[in-house]
Structures are given as structure tokens and as C-alpha cells.
A and B are shown apart, each in its own frame.
Chain A
């Protein structure tokens, strides 16, 4: 039996079960939360899980007369696991939503299942543009790399940065970040003087940084996976690039609130564009950060916000459908949804089902002895330009 026909069978049986047992399904609404809770991406999973728990504590676990039940599964960011878990959740646990997805391949692996079973897939982390195009049942509450990379490109070109050397990890998100940055930066009159792609498992940045230094740029554009950012910043300072006046710019993933304090003062002055900073000066965010810190003893990062808004989107959609869990109705209800998130005003683009949000330009500064990304410029309601071009 081919995979396609297996899936059809799965979808068919799910549909049949839902049709046969409507009375049962009315009691609870189940959300299958698939996250990397172990492995290299575990911090993403933990943040999202925390945020979902926090939201449910604050808002109760009943919406529109239905009890919400979250079933957490760990896929360790391996797409094969994601697919198997999504299938089990849909078929055995009969979940009404699948959510989470720490990395792009995981989100893509679940996409055909969402389509066939007509179960909304809420992407709370993965950031490649194409994801929402893979199924009409995918809605995203995190971000796309294009959003932050194009903005930092525009900003750099307008703010006196003429020559940039790029250092990006050689994998899909790294290449996305590089291409979107390059496109907007060169369109704004900037010049790329050096382009280095570093291997993903890169133990030592020294030779690449020496190359950056020798090409004498105004700034270095960086995208490396979360975790390597600290190493990068330390070696950047070690080599004296900070003193020779070369700035670090990039999409804000590198300066995740999670890791920022561990990077030390080397990170001071780094300018990044991103959707969220724990220092975002709004009442909603202050409340969110305080509650998150109280519950989990650490600062929330942008992944936590993706999870927090993701579960909120599910609540809002259920309120709108009056508790009905029909996949198509839920997706309709989500389109155009709009609220004030801890990160600022956000909405779901009715056409692409992707998130529309403000992108902030931030600079790393010391606030009360801790490092924070302090926002100083805002680009409002940024759509994902990875898709709008088509």
C-alpha cells in the first residue's frame, strides 16, 4: 500500500470516527502538542510547553463550554518522529489540533496529515516561508526568517552601513536569512564584500572571523543556529572585531533572550531585527514576563511568545465557532484573527494564514545588570515577503 493510500485510509477512518461519535467529541477538545523536548532543540520545546501551560493557567482550561486537553509528545526535532506522532495523535487520540513544531522539517512532515485529516496545524516555532503553503490547514503564530532578515537589510542600508560581510550557517534557515538580507540590503544600495557560509557543526569560528576582519566591512551580518551565537560573539570580541568598529547585525534569533546573558558583554551593541524582546515596553509584555518568570524562573524568549500566541489562537477560534471542532470552520475562524500579544499587535493574514507582526530593531544593552535587546525602531505590520512576491 502506498503512503498516499495509507494516509487516505487514515483520513477516512478519522472522518468516519468523528461522524460516528459526535457525542463523545463534545466533551473535550484535544490539542496534540508536538515539540522537541529532548535533543539540541530542547530549549525551544521547553519554552513553548511552558508558555502553553502558562496561558492555560491564566485563562482556565474551558472554552465555549469545552474542556481543553493538551497531549504533549516529544519528537526530538526528527521529522520521522513528528510524522509518526502526528498520525498517532490524529488517529488514536483523535485530537482536534496539532500544534508546536520546533523545526521546519518537522512542520512539513505533519503537513500532509493535517490536510488529509482536516485538522488545523498550528506552527508555533518553525520559521521557513514555505510552511504555510504546504497545507490549507496550517496557521503560523511564530515568525518567518524573511520578516526579520529583510527588515534588517532595509535598516542597515538606510543607517550608514555600506559594506557588509556575511557569516551564515550553511542550512535552509541560514540560506533564507542570507538571501532575504542580501536582496533588501543591495537594493538599498549596500554592498556585500565577503560571503562566508560556515558548516552547521562548526567547532571554531576563528578562521572565518579572521576573514571577516580582513575584508574590513562596516558590519557583519550573522545567522547561526541558537546556541552557537554565544560562541560567535565571544570569538568576535576575542579577535578584537568590536574594537575595530565592525558592528554585528542580524535577525534576532542569534540574540535570543534565552541565551543573551550567557554571551557576556561581548554582545553589547549588537543590532538585530526581531519580533520579540523580553524588554518590549508594553503592559501586556510586562505582565507576561513577570508571570513567566514567576512560574518557570527564567526569562521568556521569542519561542515562548510563539507558543503563548498559538494557544491563544486556538482559544479564540473555539470561541468563534462556539466550540465546534470542524477543521474548516476553525481555520476560517482563525483567518484575520487579531490581538495584542506580548510582542505587540499581531494578526493572522487571511490569505496566507501566516502571521503579520511588527518587527523591531533592537540593540543589546545592559538593563539592571542583565543584557536585554532594547527596541529602538519599529517596522509595523510586516508580512512574510517570502510569499508575497509570488
Chain B
């Protein structure tokens, strides 16, 4: 019985991690209708920046995390202003080709600068190991992930649903022309949203180094997971990807524990079943566009 809870706990932590990594993609894909396959590259950038700060510059882990967010967001803004915005009106195929190219360039660049071997971020001792909670093994690091990601999710949902910026963003997405007619600076809103999504990815990258491993192939290896989260969750809100991440995280961990022979397929089986049942994802708007 306690094992069940440990598995559940690990699954939730894994799912939360997937969510932080992928929700930026859900935002750009769902809200801005832009296919950004280079999303993982921002996650990788955040991870490597955090690693360099902690391992080489001696920063404490917790001050390096916000910086991973900020610098990934800054890179996001720079690229959005110089490259991405020219592609907003182009076809999805152009966007895919452009961003996949960007992904390969990021892989090669990081390989050249940082080397191809896997790197780790030195964690403070307080985050290592497990403690017992009524017989359930709780990993400290995973607990921290759940806390950080849980807070982020609540904050995101509030920003989107309750704030002025959230309503501007939704207006800009639904009808950019009418929105700019009402005095909303649409490009600015998009740039900000894009940067925020990249920042989240950067944070996710820094958090995931410990669990998923960080190497130059990160963007390619995990692209498929991000896309699964977004397709299963539907891209019209962030609740969808959130629930999808949890479902996939728990499904993946439990599947690997209980049926290790089938382990890697569980996540895909869940995806196929859900997509047959709801082709637009769990919370997809049916044929919105």
C-alpha cells in the first residue's frame, strides 16, 4: 500500500515537471497558434545556465533557478523580436521547418560549447535523499518540484483568468485585428507571452536536470513528450495540459513499476486512447479554427 503512494508521489512529481516544461508550448501553440518545436531548446538553455552558475560560479541552487527563468525568457524575447515574429503569419509547415532548424542549431551549439557529455547540477544537501512520511518514501527533490510547480500552475491560471493582461492576451488571440483596434498592443502582448513561456521552459530545464538528465540532445529527446502533453491536454487552456501532464506522469511511472516490460509504451497507449476518445484533447475546443 505504501508503495502505491510512493509511486503516485513520483508520478505526480514527474507529471508536474512535464507540465512546467510543456506549458510554454501549450501557450504558444494554443493561444498564439504558433508551432514552436524549438521549445525544448529554451528548456535546455535554462538548464545549462543554471548548471554553469551553480557548478562553476558557486551560486546557491535556489538563486540560480530564477536566473534560469529570466535568462531563458531573455533569449526568448531576443529571438521573438528578431526571428519568430516574421513567422506568425506564415503557414504551420514554415513554422515547423524553421523551429526544427533552430532546434538542431541549438543542439550543435551546446555540443560545441559545453561538450556532449551529460551534466549535473550540484544540489544543496537539504534536497537530497528521501524521508519517511507514514511509511511512504518521499523524495525531497521531488517534493520541491511539486511545490514549485503547483504554485506556478495556480499563479498562471490566475494571471490568465483574472488579470487585465490575461484578458488582453485572450482578446489578442481570438481576434488580433479587433484587439489592436481596441488599443491593445498585440505584438507586445505576444512577445511577453512568448518570453514567459520560454522562461517557464528554462525553469523546467533547470529543475529536470536532476531527474531527466541534461545533455545537448535534450530538445530532441523530449520534444515528443512536450507534444504529447499538448495534444492530449488540448491547447486551449492550461488546465488541459496540466491534467494531461499529471495523467501521463502517473501513468508512465506506474506503468514502468507494475509492468516494466510494457513500460515505455504506457504513455503512448494513454495518448492513443484519449485521442480516439477526444480527438481535440481532453479540453480541446472542437474545431475552433
- Residues of A191-239 contacting chain B, CB below 8 A: 196-199, 201-204, 206-208, 210-211, 214, 227-228, 230-231, 234-235, 237-239
Please name the residue on chain B nearest to A167 by beta carbon. B260
> Which secondary structure characterizes the binding site on chain B?
helix
In angstroms, Cα B137 to Cα A237, docked, is 13
Q: Is A264 interfacial (CB 8 A cutoff)? A: yes
In whole angstroms, how far apart are the Cα atoms of A198 and B263 in the complex? 8
User: Which residues of chain B are near A42, meaning CB under 8 Å?
Assistant: 111, 115-116
The reply to whether B119 and A262 form a contact with Cβ atoms under 8 Å apart is yes
Give chain A residues whose Cβ lies under 8 Å from the Cβ of B137: 239-240
Separation of A203 and B109 alpha carbons in the complex (Å): 22
9-residue interface stretch from B67-75, B95-103, B163-171, B206-214: B206-214
Q: How many residues does chain A have at the interface if contact means C-beta atoms less than 8 Å apart?
A: 34
Contact between chains at B111 and A228 (CB < 8 Å): no
| Measured CA separation A258–B213 after assembly (Å) | 16
Q: Which of A38, A203, A211 has a CB less than 8 Å from the CB of B257?
A: A211
Q: Mark B228-256, 1 if CB is under 8 A from A, else 0.
A: 00000000000000000000000011111
What CA separation (Å) do A186 and B263 show in the bound complex? 27
Contacting pair A203 B212 (CB below 8 A): yes
Chain A nearest Cβ from B253, distance in angstroms? 5
Contact of A43 with B by CB under 8 A: yes
Q: Which listed residue (B10, B122, B129) contacts A240, Cβ 8 A?
A: B129
Asked if B48 CB lies within 8 Å of chain A CBs, one says no
Interface residues on B, range: 35 or more
What is the CA–CA distance of A203 and B17 in the complex, to the nearest angstrom?
12
Q: Are B128 and A237 in contact (CB under 8 A)?
A: yes
Complex Cα spacing A238 to B264, Å: 22
Structural contact, A238 and B129, CB atoms closer than 8 A = yes
Residues of A within 8 A of B10 (CB): 204, 206-207, 210
Query: A203 with B213: in contact, given A211-B260, A238-B128, A238-B130 (CB under 8 Å)?
Result: yes
Known interface pairs A210-B3, A238-B141. Does A227 touch B117 (Cβ–Cβ under 8 Å)? yes
Contacts of B139 in A (CB 8 A): 206, 238-239
Q: For A189, list chain B residues within 8 Å (CB).
A: none
In whole angstroms, what is the CA distance A42 to B107 when docked? 13
Instruction: Indicate whether A40 reaches chain B with its CB closer than 8 angstroms.
Output: yes
Identify A210's interface contact among B7, B128, B217, CB under 8 A: B7
- The chain A residue sitting closest to B9, CB to CB, is A206
Q: Which residues of A contact B130 (CB under 8 A)?
A: 238-240
**25 A-B pairs with C-beta separation under 8 A:** A38-B108, A43-B115, A43-B117, A201-B221, A202-B264, A203-B221, A203-B225, A204-B212, A206-B253, A207-B252, A207-B263, A208-B257, A210-B3, A210-B6, A210-B10, A210-B257, A211-B257, A228-B118, A231-B212, A231-B213, A238-B141, A240-B137, A262-B118, A263-B120, A264-B122
* B interface residues, Cβ below 8 angstroms from A: 3, 6-7, 10, 14, 108, 111, 115-120, 122, 128-130, 137, 139, 141, 210-213, 215, 217, 221-222, 225, 252-257, 260-261, 263-264
